[in-house]
Amino acid sequence: MSEKFTGSFTQQEALSEAAIEAAMNVMRHGRLHRYNVIDGELGEAALLEQEFAAQIGAKYCLAVASGGYAMATALRAVGVKHGDKVLTNAFTLAPVPGSIAAVGASPVFVDVTEELTIDLEDLASKADQASVLMLSHMRGHLCDMDRLMQICDGAGITVIEDCAHTMGAAWNGIASGRMGAAGCYSCQTYKHVNSGEGGLLITDDAEIAARAIMLSGSYMLYERHLAAPAPEVFERVKFETPNISGRMDNLRAAILRPQLRDLGRQVGRWNERYQKIEAGLRDTPGLTVVQRPEAETYVGSSIQFLLLEWSPESVAEVIARCAKRGVELKWFGGAEPAGFTSRYDSWRYAEPQNLPQSDRILAAIVDMRVPLTFSLEDCAQIARIIRSEVGAVYQAG
């Protein structure tokens, strides 16, 4: 009888006792709003910003309501206006073009490569179409960041990094989020730290930081931020920057602070699981494993493989057969959005674009979460099931 996986692909680990106790302390005193502090008290949100800025090596940090809000705020803070165009990846998730639409701008999609990163040749060819790139490190895959920054710097393009899947990752030792003008991170349940919802924005640019803090709804309480620029920077922008409230509260910040201290260990655990699945999938006929470059330090919280040149019916059959055996796979080739999965041609608020290279690759991408609730034995079993079902469909075809 065929083995069947019985674990959950959506169950996250429980919060640590340190995170639970920190949350309880906030609930006991009741000061959940980030600016509701007593004399001499440093609020949890302000401490979180200070600690993450130090951890990532940034000058400034802002904690907000979500990763999507962080991206839209970064776009506003660098000066994107209604009617502008913004470059971004064709392979990404809906909150990325959504953040562009939120500021009244239009996305210009850039092709994806078989390594699942932004196509730098296509980026260079479109560099004259926009002055800002919202770079999505989709599913944790980092492109050649040195070359990307060379292209963008040469063309006068401001880079904002979407690091929802790369908190803890790096390119040539430089932390993800530190090469662009701003880096945006998600703290949503399925990301690398979990507060249900939440986001972080980092930058070394004092004016971007001041505008972002004002946009988030600081009123005139910006001096209560610990990872913020000097008051005179706020004086320059405070009357022309709207309040678009999206602050993080002290409860979520309290939950996150212990998790960030444990991030390095968690990255190691994710990568053990990723590498176990990856090893089990290698050399499967018809299946392409995505190669990771040596310069990339990645976080294997999800894994992708390609079924290149397969018919849609055959890919759908693999997905269905694996599902019957308890393995939940997502496919980016479906004609309709499903759950969290959608494609650039699903977002009809964006101008239609013809991207045959991306269409070919998106039709081949199969995606799977790798929760830390999986054991290494679970990962080996999952790889065996995928290998078996891919092989069965491949041979039949």
pLDDT higher than threshold 60 for residue 1:
no
Reading the block at residue 21, the tokens are 């106790």
pLDDT tens for 117-133 read 999 999 999 999 999 99
What is the Cα–Cα distance from 269 to 273, expressed in whole angstroms? 7
What is the Cα–Cα distance from 88 to 133, expressed in whole angstroms? 6
**Domain edges within the chain:** 17-261, 263-396
Please tell me the predicted confidence (pLDDT) of residue 207: 98
Q: Sorting pLDDT into bands at 50, 70 and 90, what band is 16?
A: very high
pLDDT higher than threshold 90 for residue 193:
yes
Q: Which CATH architecture has domain 263-396?
A: Alpha-Beta Complex (3.90)
Contacts for 271-276: CB closer than 8 Å, 24+ residues apart:
271/298, 271/299, 271/300, 272/376, 273/300, 273/370, 273/372, 273/374, 273/376, 273/379, 274/298, 274/300, 274/301, 274/303, 274/370, 275/300, 276/376, 276/379, 276/380, 276/383
Domains 17-261 and 263-396 share a fold: no
pLDDT tens for 84-123 read 999 999 999 999 999 999 999 999 999 999 999 999 999 9
pLDDT higher than threshold 90 for residue 180:
yes
pTM score of the predicted model: 0.96
Question: What is the identity of the amino acid at 188?
Answer: Q
Reading the block at residue 386, the tokens are 């995928």
Please tell me the predicted confidence (pLDDT) of residue 335: 80
Q: Which CATH class is domain 17-261?
A: alpha beta
Average pLDDT over residues 334-353: 90
Please tell me the predicted confidence (pLDDT) of residue 308: 97
pLDDT tens for 220-252 read 999 999 999 999 999 999 999 999 999 999 999
Reading the block at residue 262, the tokens are 């444990």
